[in-house]
Chains A and B, each alone.
Chain A
């Protein structure tokens, strides 16, 4: 399309540090101009007075469930949820059915994305075949097929020697290995954070150390291999310290934190709400504080949603029987804005953590508003208050811990290559 102008938005572009009221113009799917009182008369004009204009968000960690579990989510519904949450690029995890451990599946996902997705979908391939933690996948072929990273997320590579080889091999294709750090033995039958709440609830806890011992192991292996290790959904304060130390020593490590771990603590598990059950679990207030600090000082590079849809009937069971995971694409922005209000981040930093920072972590060409870049951007009403009801969520699944809670800030428009893929006003 030619000639789209967004007028008088507050442009927040972390890549350049820009934060001012400007007009933005799109031509041929790319940003063609950025400035005050741009000349000419474009075909379409969007008046964005009072709105923020930010680079489209980038999610390094989503479960889109296709192929195999389309009753929970598929690429079409998941990408619609992404668009509604302001995400223009989504990296989808490999634990589909069949597992994305072969170039054929990677190519299938990319084809389905071209056919049905509203936003850019970048597949993450499995690190080991069948997520079994034994034999590594064909990482060179998978990279050629379009895999942006490798991960057994959901499963843990228990054998340190296998993890070492996976990291070494991935180094050869210069792609990150994403580690889900939870020691399976230490976690045991744990379904929530181990602490006063688990004791009061009578639920088996998993200690914060189930994560941090695995983070320590993987950081050591990253140092040994020289590979790029990306630590998924950090939940424990001790993990933040370990990552900080490793970065200081020059280990190639990046890390993400989820909106729910930044928002909640294990207290919300007290009423046995299965929408508060995920892995790793919500931890203590002290852990949450450390996560916010880690995000602010850059130890945790970015926010990733760990969007994990599950059908209502799967969650409507005993707490211990419910699957782990919560949806997150559509509530990430207000969750981050709440962190801003807590004083831990500036507005520009919050935008960065959702867009520029994740793109940079994985070397994706996204997350910037510079002239010539892809016109992937988002319009935000920063003061708009809302309480999400299940019917507000575009995801096929509604398993969100944010349901019916007061949120402030909402995405009102999402653009991919200059095309409007989401409009809150028209509800599409």
Chain B
């Protein structure tokens, strides 16, 4: 594995290797000195061309816990706001002997584009509606902590599947680990050809949740209103929100995941988000460990 551009293209073995590594990384964050010397002297650039706080902070903490130097570049502060092309910027970063590039962009395919142009490893931190592999890996780690294995488990992903990179990466990683994946949402939010990715679409929340072992609730973005994908927040909340009542349709103790930040009362009720089966804060903790695992594995020489 030279880059982490998506879950697509990863073998089951590579996924397990990252999850096993992440499990060992978890404990580092509990220590008095939360830092190991492994990536001493390495420079990691977090190139966030789409604003994001939590993913950027998570990558930054992960780099620092491994003793790497983490440099954050954001859209507003970077030379890209001066019309420099992305390709030129990547060449410049490489010329400064950066060791690894973490990229977040609004546009699908940008991490791949950069990976084709630089010799250093590139990690996709979310590209448009394409993939968000570290989120999927942390979700898989969270579910593995709940169930031991995802083999044969039923996972429902609910929300705007069409525009969600989390949904794509999640369904790929869950399927690779042997889970049955359902995607659910209003038909305007289910993309064409989704069955080709090995999942079954549901147009009713109740049907999708029946007997599920886990539910991934996606964030509903207000800007999708402009795309006229749904009539409004109230209609969505009344019919697609994960509440105590709808969650009761899933298996008892079903795990509830949400990539955050959550819209309380829209896609998820507070009573669910804050209660026991919710693993939302574990996801955040696991996120740091997964990103440490990714940085550790990709900076190695055994590619």
Contacts and interface: CB of A to CB of B under 8 A. Distances in A.
Task: Judge A-B direct contact (beta carbons within 8 Å).
Answer: yes
Contacts of B168: 199-200, 202
B277 interface: no
Interface in A306-347: 313, 316-321
Interface in B76-126: 85-87, 105, 107-110, 112-113
Contacts of A313: 85
Nearest to B105: A318
Nearest to B196: A196
A196 B112 CA distance: 19
B291 interface: no
Contact of B131 (A194, A202, A321): A202
Given A202-B165, A202-B168, A272 B197 contact: no
A196 B191 CA distance: 8
A319 B108 contact: yes
Contact of B86 (A195, A199, A272, A318): A318
B20 interface: no
29 contacts: A195-B192, A195-B193, A196-B196, A196-B197, A198-B193, A199-B192, A199-B194, A199-B197, A200-B8, A200-B168, A200-B193, A200-B196, A202-B109, A202-B129, A202-B131, A202-B168, A203-B109, A203-B129, A203-B130, A271-B112, A272-B108, A272-B112, A272-B113, A316-B85, A317-B87, A318-B86, A318-B105, A318-B109, A318-B113
A197 B130 CA distance: 11
Contact size range, B? 20 to 34
A201 interface: yes
Interface in A256-303: 271-272
Contact of B127 (A202, A205, A271, A321): A202
Interface in B57-87: 85-87
A207 B87 CA distance: 30
B191 A199 contact: yes
Interface of B: 8, 85-87, 105, 107-110, 112-113, 127-131, 162, 165, 168, 191-194, 196-197
B192 A318 contact: no
A194 B191 CA distance: 9
Contacts of B191: 198-199
A201 B192 contact: no
Q: Which 6 A-B pairs have the closest CB atoms?
A: A196-B193, A202-B130, A272-B109, A202-B108, A202-B129, A199-B191
Contacts of B112: 271-272
Contacts of B197: 196, 199-200
Contacts of A320: 107-108, 128
Given A317-B86, A318-B107, A319-B113, 20 more contacts: A196-B194, A198-B191, A199-B168, A199-B191, A199-B193, A199-B196, A200-B168, A201-B109, A202-B108, A202-B129, A203-B108, A204-B129, A271-B112, A272-B109, A272-B113, A313-B85, A318-B109, A318-B110, A319-B109, A321-B107
Nearest to A317: B85
Contacts of A321: 107
B191 to A, nearest CB: 4
A321 B113 CA distance: 12
A197 B131 CA distance: 14
Contacts of B86: 317-318
Contacts of A272: 108-109, 112-113
A21 B127 CA distance: 58
B8 to A, nearest CB: 7
A195 B108 CA distance: 16
B192 A319 contact: no
Interface string A200-230: 1111110100000000000000000000000
Contacts of A202: 108-109, 127-131, 165, 168
B77 to A, nearest CB: 19
A119 B119 CA distance: 44
Contact of A319 (B107, B131, B194): B107
Nearest to A202: B130
Nearest to A271: B112
Contacts of B105: 318
